[in-house]
Amino acid sequence: MTIYGVLLGPPGVGKGTQAKMIAERFDLAHISTGDILRDAVNKRTPLGLKVADIMKSGGLVSDEIINSLMEEYIKGLPDGFLLDGYPRTLGQATFLDNFLKDIGKGLNIALAIDVQDDEIIRRLTGRRYCPKCGRGYHIIYDPPKEDGVCDNDGEKLVQREDDKPETIRERLRVYRERTAPLIDYYKNRGLLEVVDGSGSIEEVHRLVLQVLERRGLVDKA
Ligand code: AP5
């Protein structure tokens, strides 16, 4: 059995960090809508130009844009994937369900990571990434060997534009209003698993593995 999963949770809770670890460990595709959109913004593609201001303000890109983007990505995927940052609205969740059904697939887990707001703010304000290779860091929890410089290529690390305190507050507000209802949506479908994300990256990873094993989606390590 392989994983057809979505990751849920507020901004900065650790979705991307855990998705990368799970995808590498079990050889799954990891699709992050945030990464796809940021790449489009950096390359100034037509999509990037359309979404840049919305992302900068902490708002959500329209369901129409996101659903048609994801349709193309998911169509081309081999078996097994983790969707990170999608779906983010009820409209996106129902679109995804219908689309997967049409291609003979279906989700088998919705993994929500839960962390208190004050810790989320610490994680987001301390997050840095390498503009060359994309590797992510945290100045305290996951620092590079040399202060401010990427371990892979020596590039100077930068902060995401939407990781400023006022934008973080708006992203949290938008999460509660538009995305939090998905917790019940997946609970009602028997797919929800909630993991306490307050421990270290490795501790959270262990909890995620336990859930995947309990659901019979991966073999016991
Ligand atoms: P997106 O990139 O998806 O942002 P997000 O959901 O706000 O999530 P983040 O990437 O900020 O956080 P994360 O949970 O992945 O945390 P991470 O692992 O990096 O989306 C950005 C924007 O794109 C949106 O605001 C919207 O405009 C648009 N968008 C994207 N998808 C969309 C959609 N479907 N519909 C509409 N619009 C969409 O961890 C954070 C930091 O904490 C890192 O520094 C990490 O090292 C550290 N850390 C992680 N885990 C731990 C731990 N356990 N202990 C200590 N530190 C930790």
Domain ranges of the chain: 4-115+164-214, 122-159
With a Cβ cut-off of 6 Å, ligand 1 is lined by 11-17, 33-34, 37, 54-55, 58-61, 66, 85-86, 88, 92, 123, 127, 136, 138, 141-142, 162, 171, 197, 199-201, 204
Helices within 90-180 (DSSP H only):
90-102, 117-125, 165-174
Q: Which of 38, 123, 128, 171 is an active site residue?
A: 171
Identify the pLDDT of residue 52.
Answer: 97
d(CA 209, CA 221): 9
**Closest to 70 (Cα-Cα) out of 54, 49, 87:** 87
The pLDDT assigned to 78 comes to 82
Tens digits of pLDDT across the chain (221 residues)? 799 999 999 999 999 999 999 999 999 999 999 999 999 999 999 999 999 999 999 999 999 999 999 999 998 888 899 999 999 999 999 999 999 999 999 999 999 999 999 999 999 999 999 999 989 999 999 999 999 999 999 999 999 989 999 999 999 999 999 999 999 999 999 999 999 999 999 999 999 999 999 999 998 76
Domain 4-115+164-214: top CATH class: alpha beta
Neighbour-count burial of 186, counting CB atoms closer than 10 A to its CB (0-12 exposed, 13-18 middle, 19+ buried): buried
Please confirm, yes or no, whether 88 is among the known catalytic residues: yes
The pLDDT assigned to 75 comes to 87
Beta 109-114 vs 29-32: how paired, if at all? unpaired
Task: Determine the pLDDT at residue 221.
Answer: 64
Does the CA dihedral 23-67-193-135 come out positive or negative?
positive
What pTM does this model have? 0.95
Element holding 51 (H helix, E strand): helix 46-57
CA distance 199 to 206: 10
pLDDT tens, 31-65? Answer: 999 999 999 999 999 999 999 999 999 999 999 99
